[in-house]
Protein backbone atom coordinates (compact mmCIF):
# COMPACT_ATOMS: atom_id res chain seq x y z
CA UNK A 1 0.00 0.00 0.00
CA UNK A 2 2.04 2.93 -1.31
CA UNK A 3 -0.41 5.73 -0.42
CA UNK A 4 0.65 8.89 -2.25
CA UNK A 5 3.69 8.65 -4.52
CA UNK A 6 5.48 11.68 -5.92
CA UNK A 7 8.23 11.83 -8.48
CA UNK A 8 10.89 13.06 -8.64
CA UNK A 9 12.16 13.46 -5.06
CA UNK A 10 14.74 16.07 -6.02
CA UNK A 11 15.16 18.34 -9.04
CA UNK A 12 17.38 21.23 -10.03
CA UNK A 13 16.18 23.45 -12.86
CA UNK A 14 17.62 26.43 -14.63
CA UNK A 15 15.51 29.56 -14.84
CA UNK A 16 13.12 29.27 -17.76
CA UNK A 17 13.11 25.48 -17.94
CA UNK A 18 9.91 23.53 -17.64
CA UNK A 19 9.07 20.38 -15.78
CA UNK A 20 6.18 18.29 -14.54
CA UNK A 21 5.84 16.85 -11.05
CA UNK A 22 3.95 13.59 -10.98
CA UNK A 23 1.64 12.37 -8.23
CA UNK A 24 -0.35 9.18 -7.91
CA UNK A 25 -2.49 7.78 -5.10
CA UNK A 26 -3.78 4.26 -4.67
CA UNK A 27 -6.36 4.90 -1.95
CA UNK A 28 -9.28 5.54 -4.30
CA UNK A 29 -9.49 9.10 -2.99
CA UNK A 30 -11.57 11.62 -4.86
CA UNK A 31 -9.69 14.81 -4.00
CA UNK A 32 -6.08 15.67 -4.70
CA UNK A 33 -3.95 18.70 -3.88
CA UNK A 34 -0.64 20.36 -4.61
CA UNK A 35 1.04 22.40 -1.86
CA UNK A 36 4.31 24.19 -1.59
CA UNK A 37 6.23 24.67 1.63
CA UNK A 38 8.86 27.34 2.07
CA UNK A 39 11.23 27.55 5.06
CA UNK A 40 9.47 28.70 8.21
CA UNK A 41 6.10 28.60 6.55
CA UNK A 42 3.22 26.25 6.50
CA UNK A 43 1.70 24.62 3.47
CA UNK A 44 0.24 26.87 0.82
CA UNK A 45 -2.24 25.42 -1.61
CA UNK A 46 -1.30 25.79 -5.26
CA UNK A 47 -4.10 23.90 -7.01
CA UNK A 48 -6.56 21.25 -6.07
CA UNK A 49 -8.92 18.81 -7.70
CA UNK A 50 -12.04 18.16 -5.67
CA UNK A 51 -12.98 15.26 -7.92
CA UNK A 52 -11.91 13.67 -11.18
CA UNK A 53 -12.44 16.07 -14.03
CA UNK A 54 -12.27 19.26 -11.98
CA UNK A 55 -9.40 21.52 -10.96
CA UNK A 56 -9.36 24.82 -9.10
CA UNK A 57 -6.85 27.43 -8.08
CA UNK A 58 -5.61 27.58 -4.57
CA UNK A 59 -3.80 30.34 -2.74
CA UNK A 60 -0.67 30.58 -4.93
CA UNK A 61 -1.46 29.32 -8.47
CA UNK A 62 0.59 31.76 -10.56
CA UNK A 63 3.28 30.09 -12.62
CA UNK A 64 1.74 26.62 -12.35
CA UNK A 65 -0.70 24.44 -14.22
CA UNK A 66 -2.24 21.12 -13.26
CA UNK A 67 -3.82 18.12 -14.91
CA UNK A 68 -6.08 15.59 -13.25
CA UNK A 69 -5.23 12.77 -15.62
CA UNK A 70 -7.58 10.26 -13.99
CA UNK A 71 -8.78 9.47 -10.50
CA UNK A 72 -5.32 8.30 -9.41
CA UNK A 73 -3.04 10.91 -10.95
CA UNK A 74 -2.64 14.67 -10.53
CA UNK A 75 0.34 16.40 -12.11
CA UNK A 76 1.79 19.86 -11.54
CA UNK A 77 3.59 21.68 -14.35
CA UNK A 78 5.99 24.59 -14.17
CA UNK A 79 6.07 26.09 -17.65
CA UNK A 80 8.95 28.51 -17.11
CA UNK A 81 10.64 27.99 -13.78
CA UNK A 82 11.71 30.98 -11.69
CA UNK A 83 13.96 31.13 -8.60
CA UNK A 84 10.87 32.11 -6.56
CA UNK A 85 9.53 28.62 -7.23
CA UNK A 86 12.35 27.03 -5.27
CA UNK A 87 10.47 25.12 -2.62
CA UNK A 88 9.38 21.74 -1.37
CA UNK A 89 6.27 20.54 -3.15
CA UNK A 90 3.80 18.14 -1.59
CA UNK A 91 1.03 16.26 -3.25
CA UNK A 92 -1.84 15.11 -1.06
CA UNK A 93 -5.14 13.32 -1.37
CA UNK A 94 -8.28 12.94 0.69
CA UNK A 95 -11.39 10.86 0.48
CA UNK A 96 -13.47 13.81 -0.67
CA UNK A 97 -13.71 17.58 -0.49
CA UNK A 98 -14.93 17.04 3.05
CA UNK A 99 -12.26 14.36 3.60
CA UNK A 100 -11.06 16.05 5.59
CA UNK A 101 -7.70 14.73 6.58
CA UNK A 102 -5.17 14.63 3.83
CA UNK A 103 -2.53 12.01 3.16
CA UNK A 104 0.71 13.43 1.87
CA UNK A 105 3.41 12.25 -0.47
CA UNK A 106 7.05 12.44 0.56
CA UNK A 107 7.67 15.71 -1.21
CA UNK A 108 9.77 17.02 -4.10
CA UNK A 109 12.61 19.37 -3.28
CA UNK A 110 12.90 21.73 -6.26
CA UNK A 111 15.71 24.22 -6.71
CA UNK A 112 15.61 26.77 -9.52
CA UNK A 113 18.95 28.41 -10.26
Show the DSSP H helices in 21-101 as ranges.
none
Give yes or no for a contact between 77 and 92, defined as CB atoms under 8 angstroms apart.
Answer: no
Quote the CA–CA distance of 82 and 63 in Å, as a whole number: 9
- CA–CA distance from 82 to each of 7, 14, 33, 86, 87 (Å)? 20, 8, 21, 8, 11
Q: Of 48, 64, 74, 89, which one interacts with another protein (CB under 8 A)? A: 48
Q: Among the candidate windows 15-23, 45-53, 64-72, 73-81, which touches another protein by CB under 8 A?
A: 45-53
For another protein, give the closer residue by CB, 19 or 88: 88
For another protein, give the closer residue by CB, 83 or 97: 97
Name the site residues for another protein (rule: CB under 8 A). 4, 31, 33, 35, 40-45, 48-50, 56, 58-59, 90, 97-107
Amino acid sequence: NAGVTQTPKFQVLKTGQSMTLQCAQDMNHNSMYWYRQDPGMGLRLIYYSASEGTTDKGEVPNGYNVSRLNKREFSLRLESAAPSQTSVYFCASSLGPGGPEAFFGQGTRLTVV
